[in-house]
Amino acid sequence: MPPIVEISALRKAYAGGFEALKGVDLQIAEGEILALLGPNGAGKTTLISTVCGITTATSGTVRVGGHDTVTDFRAARAMIGLVPQEINLEPFEKVQSTVKFSRGLFGKPANPALIEKILRQLSLWDKRDSQIRELSGGMKRRVLIAKALSHEPRVLFLDEPTAGVDVELRRDMWEIVAELKRDGVTIILTTHYIEEAEAIADRIGVIAHGEILLVEDKAKLMARMGKKELEVQLSEPIIEIPASLASDALRLNDDGTALIYSYDTRGERTGITKLLAEVAAAGLILRDVVTRQSSLEDIFVDLVHEGEAP
Amino acid sequence: MNWTAVKSIYLFEMARFFRTITQSFISPVLSTSLYFVVFGAAIGSRIQEVEGVSYGAFIVPGLIMLSVITQSISNASFGIYFPKCIGTIFELLSAPVNFLEIVMGYVGAAATKALFIGVIILATAFAFVDFEIQYPLAMVGFLVLTCISFSLMGFIIGIWAGNFEQLQLVPLLIITPLVFLGGSFYSISMLPPVWQIISHFNPVVYLISGFRWSFFGAADVPIGISLLAIGLFTALCIAVIWWIFKTGWRIRQ
């Protein structure tokens, strides 16, 4: 099956000369959830804006559902829903009328039943006749989502959907995303909450300085970061690991005060009991035991810093 | 054509107008009534007939034009400036609509509002002075064309404006003088010769002259030239807007 979103060699230089995107290539399969992780200023929003038609690319192409977003913009854009990062809403409009407007703007005939379903799903139905300015920040974000869903997009872009929202809305949001996925909607979300990417994404892309540093299946990435380290601190430093303990998973720290043991948290046996028994048998006296998990965050930070290196 | 989108934008903009319908009507009706009292009744009674028409009646077309032009510009410029200012324009830019559809929605709504006001002022005028409209169809035609062309211009101003001051500046510094010096309250023939020549560079002169012709059958400039001037002005505005959307000037980075 051809990818639903195909981004090739996409570059964007702003008028001031700042290069926000430096030749991005990205293919997104239909029905998947892709999380784009990246620090502020990495180019996440520029990438989304360029796909959606809000900014024009300096060079490169974007195809959505096989339609070029420039030469065949109507067909391409009709498939796309966008939930922007900023809460951009007209304060005096009513919830329901602004959502209906979005549907009409995308050329779809009125469908009150669908609008009701969306508003109910987002817990906005009771607020349908309220003015936007009367709503809380979280509610406004729900309105933005409702607007994007009103025209039944096949590809949904969520730009930092949970930035600054409470835990409840974040959970609701994840549920909505899961439901959309069941309906076959392709979802691309940007976030800098790694846990969010972990919770809902199928694939994770890391972007920094206008370049995609990595796009990988979440499960594979999780396997890479599923490693955990156990640090056994000793009361007396030792010079080398006793022969009885020697294994690939075990090493001594630089000053000989601790043994560091790497293991897979998802393994059938972690080997910790055996290790501790052997440490005791070798006559070593423990001072403390610490565990550390290498997280997606570490991988992410490493990648971004590699990107920074000249 | 995405007619559903045009209709949606149009109705959305009209809804904004109907929310503030009282203010929208009271202000122009009040100010026009004041003009009639001051110019028509108080000063006009001391002015002899202009081009065979009583002064009170003579200023009716000019007053309608004054309001319609100001309203067209302010409605259309605000209509597009507001979404640009608060950021909701992102939706317009990401929607499957082209420039023509956006313009038809926004300019159509702004022109409709201005037309409403023009009709209300005409009705108010009947309450103050006695006059007949010789060519009602031409009158409606001129009115509609003016609403559309100046709403197009307002749309350009709204996209150009970087802040609320600039949004107010063009109407204040350019449009008001052009309209006042365009023969709203006098016939161009009443001016000294030098000013008559200068006046011919003022596009509003052609509009008001043509509009007045539809009322009284007399004009400062030939009616054909009036039509040509307004046609050229409309075409110029459409060309500028086409260029704006093509290049993304001030709306798309």
Which CATH number do you get for residue A249? 3.30.70
Contact B31, B152 (CB under 8 A): no
Same domain, residue pair A243 and A118: no
Query: Cα separation of B11 and A192, whole Å?
Result: 39
Do residues A209 and A78 share a domain?
yes
How does pLDDT run across B109-163, given as a tens digit for each residue? 999 999 999 999 999 888 888 888 999 999 999 999 999 999 999 999 999 998 9
Task: Indicate if A174 and A46 belong to the same structural domain.
Answer: yes
> Residue A309: is its pLDDT beyond 60?
no
Q: Where is the domain boundary, A178, A203, A223?
A: A223
Is A310 within the bounds of a domain? no
pLDDT at B52: 80
**Tens digit of pLDDT for each residue in A148-188?**
999 999 999 999 887 777 788 788 888 889 999 999 999 99
Q: Are B105 and B6 in contact (CB under 8 A)?
A: yes
Partners of B19 on chain A (C-beta within 8 Å) are 92
Final residue before a domain boundary, out of A174, A190, A223: A223
Both A143 and A28 in one domain: the answer is yes
Contact B88, A89 (CB under 8 A): yes
**How far is A70 from chain B, CA to nearest CA, in Å?**
11
Tell me if A68 is assigned to some domain. yes
Q: What is the per-residue pLDDT for B5?
A: 95
Last residue of a domain, one of A168, A203, A223: A223
Specify the pLDDT at position B16. 85
Q: Are A37 and A191 in contact (CB under 8 A)?
A: yes
When divided into structural domains, chain A yields a total of 2
Task: For residue range B197-233, list pLDDT tens digits in order.
Answer: 888 888 889 989 999 999 998 888 888 998 898 899 9
Q: Supply the pLDDT for residue B183.
A: 86
Q: Which residues of A touch B83 (CB under 8 A)?
A: 90
The pair of three-digit structure tokens given for residue A227, joined into one six-digit string: 């490693």
Q: What's chain A's Rg over C-alpha atoms? A: 25
Closest CA–CA distance from residue A36 to any residue of chain B (Å) = 20
Instruction: Let me know: does B88 contact A90? Beta carbons within 8 Å.
Output: yes
pLDDT-above-90 percentage for chain A:
51
Do A176 and A207 reside in the same domain of the chain? yes
Is the pLDDT at A146 greater than 80? The verdict is: yes
Question: Do both A161 and A234 map to the same domain?
Answer: no
A76 within domain boundaries = yes
Residue A119, in any domain of the structure: yes
**CATH for A63:** 3.40.50.300
Please tell me whether residues A52 and A158 are part of one structural domain.
yes
Query: Closest partner residue to B90 among A74, A88, A106, by Cβ?
Result: A88
Per-residue confidence band for A306, with pLDDT thresholds at 50, 70 and 90: low
Residues of A with Cβ-Cβ distance to B2 under 8 angstroms: 74, 107
Count Cβ atoms below 10 Å from residue A193 Cβ, excluding itself. Answer: 14
Beta bridge partners of A249: none
pLDDT per residue as tens digits for the range A185-206 = 999 999 877 778 888 899 999 8
CA pair distance B58, B60, nearest whole angstrom: 6
A310 pLDDT higher than 60: no
d(CA A65, CA B161): 37
- Banded model confidence at residue B184, pLDDT cuts 50, 70, 90: confident
Whether A281 and A214 map to the same domain: the answer is no
Answer whether residue A300 is part of any domain: no
- pLDDT tens per residue across span A248-298: 888 888 888 999 888 877 677 788 888 888 888 888 888 899 988 766 667
Residue B86 is nearest to which of A56, A88, A109, comparing CB atoms? A88
pLDDT at A236: 87
Residue A302 lies in a domain: no
DSSP3 helix / strand / coil % (chain B, rounded to 5) = 80, 0, 20
Interface list for A 173-202 with B (CB within 8 A)? none
pLDDT digits (tens, 9 = 90+) for B70-106: 999 999 999 999 999 999 999 999 999 998 999 999 9
Is the domain of A210 the same as that of A264? no
Task: Specify if A60 maps to a domain.
Answer: yes
Has residue A68 got a pLDDT over 90? yes
A263 and A122 in a single domain? The answer is: no
Dump pLDDT digits (tens) for A38-67: 888 889 999 999 999 999 999 999 999 999
Residues A209 and A108 grouped into a single domain = yes
Pairing state between β A155-159 and A80-83: parallel
If asked whether residues A178 and A252 sit together in one domain, one would say no
Looking at per-residue confidence, does A268 or A234 come out higher? A234
For residue A85, the distance in angstroms to the closest alpha carbon of chain B comes to 11
Range(s) of the domain holding residue A135: 5-223
Percent of chain A scoring above 70 in pLDDT: 95
The average pLDDT across A113-127 equals 94
| Separation between Cα atoms, residue B232 and residue B219, nearest integer Å | 19
The pLDDT value given to residue A294: 64
Task: Show the tokens assigned to B250.
Answer: 């001030």
Mean pLDDT of chain A: 88
User: Does B248 score more than 90 pLDDT?
Assistant: no
A254-263 pLDDT, tens digit each = 888 999 888 8
* Averaged pLDDT, A65-90: 94
Structural element, H or E, at residue A211: strand A211-217
